[in-house]
């Protein structure tokens, strides 16, 4: 019990200091560790296993929608990065630059990719000549580098893991459809696998990806009321194609510029999982991406037959989910705390009395509810409980978001809402003018998160200037 | 047929120019494409799919032997790289150096990892304190950078994909056992999945990994008689642990330095596949890693019922292997050439006459043998044929190696063998002196590839100096 207490006490509570709670969880759940490489982190086995699960689900969804994986170089020559004006302006300030190879100074410096549009464009120019070569539906799983000043594990680091999709199409309609399709893939993934409700929307012009015509995003609300962009999907028009001179012969054998998209999601998703579902006992993992879905803990394991039975049920469970047994010397209490910290969705306890009664105890992580279950239908019960955890944490996250979403008709109302209720989403009308967007941020502290695809008409006028409103916007503070 | 001819004629024949044949295959089979980033390449969908298959098989083998995946930063501060003297001496000359982050010059330059021993050591120091923390059995799938002067797709490029295993153990025995275990894993992988016979051996001291006590390797012989190192496994002793001050409290609570290993394999394996199994019609892929294992080609596909039947058998085959159908407008002849170029192990042809007879034609890529097969047991027949391809190409590769392996007792004999028979493995005795190793290379042109684990006693004296021999060595030219 001493150790159990030690472990639980070691986390700062969410209400006391959310930022500290977050880094405590990252560290205590053994997700990451710091290194001497400033702003970069080690993703430890438990953290990486979550990413592997995310990867394997998303990769399957990408392949089912016709995409193929490729791998581009990690370096971009400076001249290549400069080909699209908006793009270089957006990314150059945060590039890491390689200037030496061995002891020789390079003739042209290379940036470590912050994103790979330019490389994909160069490649598309090489391989696309005819309408028969289209569409190209590519994706890659790599890491990218952005030289950030302030960093936090998963949320903002100088190097992070991600996937970037890059596609090329004959018509704008097809490219827009692709942009929307991938936004929907991300949305389904967040809902069905991460148990994370998200709002689909479009970024305002000031917040678009550097070089994009339109940027779509999904926005989630964290436990502390701050928003987190969980994924983005960009429509480029043919701006990049023109800058890189990518052309294809259409069916009439005339040259045309193709239309392009890109879309991405990153290890940030792990940060989003932590801040959406976690609690003061640590991590709470959505079952679909949990490295261990059911942890079997033998009670009084020195007693005859206990370890054997626990091993037997672990083996049975392993056929229907990712199950493990902890038969270490640590006390059951210590183990309970350990796997609560690590967010294992379902705990299965089994001791001598349970064995006598042909039962075990199932405890669900998110609400700590105990259920006695007959060993006869253990598998079904655990599968059922995993579904309960998924649904339960999805509901809690949705309730948190709804509780923290306020409509406001005036600037004063925005300020008042935030003062009274703390951070959250503010829904308010906007005229479309960047000056108003800036002013809202300046006065109230909340920026535009997105123009949601599902619009509501709260009023006819802009919350800031009173002129006719064009859109309802979600405003908030963001990670 | 015009197109088919064009395609086949476009490859240089192996005998004419093996190097040119190799790059032709890389390009025509759509494995890679060049970029403006010197020495780096795009791995295209077909090439990357081979790597994904390699990855998924090896990853499973690593996990089954108790290893966990992690992810280290891609950068190494110069001071960290310098901690182990041999290591920095070996790698610094080929490091790419990051000197700027955005517009700011870095206080300390960072190298893009050429390998990650130093990062793993720093991490181990942070997380290992007690014998209870051991062993650590880690692996990561990343890309690394080595600033090579001359590059060739897959074989030698400035950036390449690989996995690097890093493990830490309480005793030297355990670490040596791990080094050998992973050498065996690679060997099994090459034999059972790549159909590539390899020789297990130990590198001579002059050829060891920078910082290792012992380097084990597996060496394969390519079609042209040159050797290729397919994977390595290093035993470090506790040299790195001492340099990085990693210590653990043993069971008696005394501090000890742990023992370490690392082991790796890379996208070179794809180069090895090409040069082991390929022929003048292009690639020949081992079925286990082939992105498409069976390609269904409808004959006279405009005739009623053909496409339907071809689709039906593709669907059936997809349940037992990776099958696809090509129903494009290209002629069957063009398609035959295309998928021979791409090395698809099994081709299934089906036309109106076959349908009448309830049969199809199966053609195996490596020997172009045709078999008529009843549609009733199509699945079994294709599985059987895939096994035949695996066994057939393994046997050919083994015969090629045996035909090109010569024992030599004198320097003259080495020279004569090479002159008469071209490149290959030379087996010859060696005293263990580096001077003799250098002299053999200088005079005959072949370097030591490895001291094979399976030793033979060809004579009692060194092939070079005549002093007592310590080992039999495989000598050869290498990629």
- CB proximity list for A124: less than 8 A, separation 6 or greater: A136, A168, A241, A244, A246, A258
Contact A72 B35 (CB under 8 A): yes
As beta bridge partners, residue B365 has none
φ, ψ (nearest 5 deg) of residue A164: -130, 120
Per-residue pLDDT, B2: 40
Residues of B in contact with A92 (CB under 8 A): 102
Q: Tell me the per-residue pLDDT of B204-258, one tens digit each, with 9 for 90 and over.
A: 999 999 999 999 999 999 999 999 999 999 999 999 999 999 999 999 999 999 9
Determine the distance in angstroms separating the CA of B458 from the nearest CA of chain A, rounded to an integer.
43
Average pLDDT over residues B450-476: 97
Q: Tell me the per-residue pLDDT of A57-70, one tens digit each, with 9 for 90 and over.
A: 999 999 999 999 99
Residue A6 pLDDT greater than 60, yes or no? no
CA-to-CA distance for A353 and A351, rounded, in angstroms?
6
- The beta strand positions in B205-301, using DSSP E, are 214-221, 227-237, 248-249, 255-256, 259-266, 294-298
The DSSP call for residue A466 is -
Per-residue pLDDT, A240: 96
Give percent above pLDDT 70 in chain B: 98
Per-residue pLDDT, B379: 98
Assess contact for A282 and A248: CB atoms under 8 A: no
Substitution target from B29, B45, B130 for chain A, most A beta carbons within 10 A = B45
Q: Tell me the per-residue pLDDT of A357-385, one tens digit each, with 9 for 90 and over.
A: 999 999 999 999 999 999 999 999 999 99
Determine the distance in angstroms separating the CA of A353 from the nearest CA of chain B, rounded to an integer.
31
Residues of A in contact with B95 (CB under 8 A): 101-102
In angstroms, the first-to-last Cα distance of chain B is: 37
Q: Tell me the per-residue pLDDT of A390-443, one tens digit each, with 9 for 90 and over.
A: 999 999 999 999 999 999 999 999 999 999 989 999 999 999 999 999 999 999
Nearest by CB to residue B80, choosing from A36, A42, A147, is A36
Per-residue pLDDT, B10: 76
Determine the distance in angstroms separating the CA of A406 from the nearest CA of chain B, rounded to an integer.
39
B64, exposed or middle or buried, with CB in 10 Å at 0-12, 13-18, 19+? exposed
Per-residue pLDDT, A9: 58
Determine the distance in angstroms separating the CA of B88 from the nearest CA of chain A, rounded to an integer.
12
Closest residue in chain A to residue B138, using alpha carbons only: A45
φ, ψ (nearest 5 deg) of residue B354: -60, -45
Residue B293 pLDDT greater than 80, yes or no? yes
Assess contact for A31 and A270: CB atoms under 8 A: yes
CA-to-CA distance for B153 and B51, rounded, in angstroms?
14
CA-to-CA distance for A253 and A248, rounded, in angstroms?
9
CA-to-CA distance for A335 and A31, rounded, in angstroms?
18
Per-residue pLDDT, B87: 86
Residue B6 pLDDT greater than 60, yes or no? no
| CA proximity to A36, closest of B71, B104, B79, B128 | B79
Residues of A in contact with B112 (CB under 8 A): 74, 98, 112
Nearest by CB to residue A33, choosing from B44, B99, B123, is B123
User: Which SS3 state, helix, strand or coil, does residue B471 take?
Assistant: strand
Count CB-CB contacts under 10 A for residue A221. Answer: 30
Count CA atoms within 13 Å of residue A197 on its CB side.
14
Give percent above pLDDT 90 in chain B: 95
Give percent above pLDDT 90 in chain A: 95
Element (H, E) at A179: helix A172-192
Assess contact for A287 and A347: CB atoms under 8 A: no
Give the torsion through C-alpha atoms of A86, A88, A89, A94, to 10 deg.
Answer: 140
- CB proximity list for A2: less than 8 A, separation 6 or greater: none
Per-residue pLDDT, A442: 97
Per-residue pLDDT, A1: 37
Average pLDDT over residues A206-221: 95
Closest residue in chain A to residue B90, using alpha carbons only: A102
Q: How confident is the model at residue A112 (pLDDT cuts 50, 70, 90)?
A: very high
**For residue A22, what are the CA distances in angstroms to A17, A268, A275, A283, A325?**
9, 13, 7, 9, 27
User: Is the CA virtual torsion B327, B346, B197, B402 positive or negative?
Assistant: negative
CA-to-CA distance for B368 and B393, rounded, in angstroms?
12
CA-to-CA distance for A296 and A292, rounded, in angstroms?
10
Average pLDDT of chain A to the nearest whole number: 96
Contact A159 B75 (CB under 8 A): yes
Per-residue pLDDT, B85: 87
Element (H, E) at A441: helix A434-444
Contact B112 A74 (CB under 8 A): yes
Residues of B in contact with A52 (CB under 8 A): 69
Assess contact for B205 and B450: CB atoms under 8 A: no
Determine the distance in angstroms separating the CA of B181 from the nearest CA of chain A, rounded to an integer.
21
Substitution target from B27, B102, B118, B142 for chain A, most A beta carbons within 10 A = B102
Average pLDDT over residues A301-327: 97
Closest residue in chain B to residue A125, using alpha carbons only: B35
Residue B4 pLDDT greater than 60, yes or no? no
Nearest by CB to residue B77, choosing from A37, A123, A147, is A37
User: Is the CA virtual torsion A223, A224, A226, A228 positive or negative?
Assistant: negative
| CA proximity to B284, closest of B338, B226, B328, B343 | B343
> A390 — alpha (psi -120 to 50), left (phi > 0) or beta?
alpha
- Structural tokens at position B116: 């990650």
Q: Tell me the per-residue pLDDT of B44-94, one tens digit each, with 9 for 90 and over.
A: 999 999 999 999 999 999 999 999 999 999 999 999 999 988 888 889 899
A288, exposed or middle or buried, with CB in 10 Å at 0-12, 13-18, 19+? middle
Contact B100 A101 (CB under 8 A): no
Give Cα A345 to chain centroid, integer Å.
19
Q: Are strands A471-476 and A447-452 parallel, antiparallel or unpaired?
A: antiparallel
Assess contact for B163 and B58: CB atoms under 8 A: yes
Q: How confident is the model at residue A148 (pLDDT cuts 50, 70, 90)?
A: very high
Nearest by CB to residue A98, choosing from B112, B122, B143, is B112
CB pairs under 8 A between A and B: 154
Per-residue pLDDT, B9: 58
Q: How many helices (H) and strands (E) does chain B have?
A: 15, 23
């Amino acid at each position: 019990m001493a150790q159990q207490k030690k472990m639980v006490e070691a986390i700062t509570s969410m209400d006391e200091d959310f930022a500290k709670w977050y880094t405590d969880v990252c560290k205590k759940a053994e997700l990451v560790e710091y290194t001497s490489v400033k702003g970069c982190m080690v993703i430890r086995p438990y953290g990486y296993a979550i990413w592997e699960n995310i990867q394997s689900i998303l990769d399957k969804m990408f392949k089912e929608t016709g995409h193929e994986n490729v791998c581009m170089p990690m370096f971009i020559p400076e001249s290549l990065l400069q080909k699209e004006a908006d793009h270089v302006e957006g990314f150059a300030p945060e590039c890491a630059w390689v200037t030496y190879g061995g002891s020789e100074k390079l003739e042209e410096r290379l940036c470590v990719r912050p994103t790979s549009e330019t490389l994909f464009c160069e490649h598309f120019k090489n391989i696309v000549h005819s309408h028969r070569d289209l569409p190209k539906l590519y994706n890659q799983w790599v890491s990218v580098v952005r030289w950030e000043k302030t960093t936090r594990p998963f949320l903002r680091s100088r190097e992070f893991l991600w996937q970037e999709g890059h596609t090329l199409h004959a018509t704008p309609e097809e490219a827009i459809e692709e942009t929307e399709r991938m936004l929907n893939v991300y949305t389904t993934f967040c809902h069905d696998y991460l148990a994370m409700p998200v709002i689909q929307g479009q970024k305002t012009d000031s917040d678009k990806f550097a070089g994009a015509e339109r940027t779509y995003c999904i926005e989630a609300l964290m436990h502390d009321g701050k928003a987190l962009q969980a994924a983005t999907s960009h429509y480029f028009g043919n701006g990049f194609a023109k800058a890189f001179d990518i052309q294809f012969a259409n069916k009439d054998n005339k040259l045309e510029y193709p239309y392009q998209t890109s879309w991405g999601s990153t290890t940030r998703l792990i940060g989003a999982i932590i801040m959406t579902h976690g609690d003061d006992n640590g991590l709470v993992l959505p079952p679909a991406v949990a490295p261990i879905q059911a942890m079997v803990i033998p009670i009084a394991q020195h007693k005859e037959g206990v370890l054997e039975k626990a091993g037997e049920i672990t083996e049975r469970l392993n056929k229907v989910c990712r199950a493990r047994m902890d038969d270490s010397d640590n006390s059951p209490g210590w183990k309970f705390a350990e796997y609560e910290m690590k967010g294992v969705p379902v705990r299965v306890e089994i001791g001598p009395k349970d064995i006598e009664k042909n039962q075990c105890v199932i405890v669900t992580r998110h609400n700590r509810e105990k259920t006695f279950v007959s060993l006869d239908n253990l598998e079904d019960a655990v599968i059922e409980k995993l579904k309960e955890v998924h649904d339960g944490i999805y509901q809690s996250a949705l309730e948190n978001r709804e509780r923290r979403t306020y409509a406001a008709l005036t600037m004063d109302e925005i300020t008042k809402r935030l003062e009274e209720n703390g951070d959250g989403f503010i829904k308010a009308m906007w005229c479309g003018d960047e000056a108003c967007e800036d002013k809202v941020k300046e006065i109230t502290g909340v920026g535009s998160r997105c123009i949601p695809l599902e619009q509501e008409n709260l009023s006819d006028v802009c919350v800031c200037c009173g002129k006719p409103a064009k859109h309802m916007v979600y405003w908030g503070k963001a990670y």
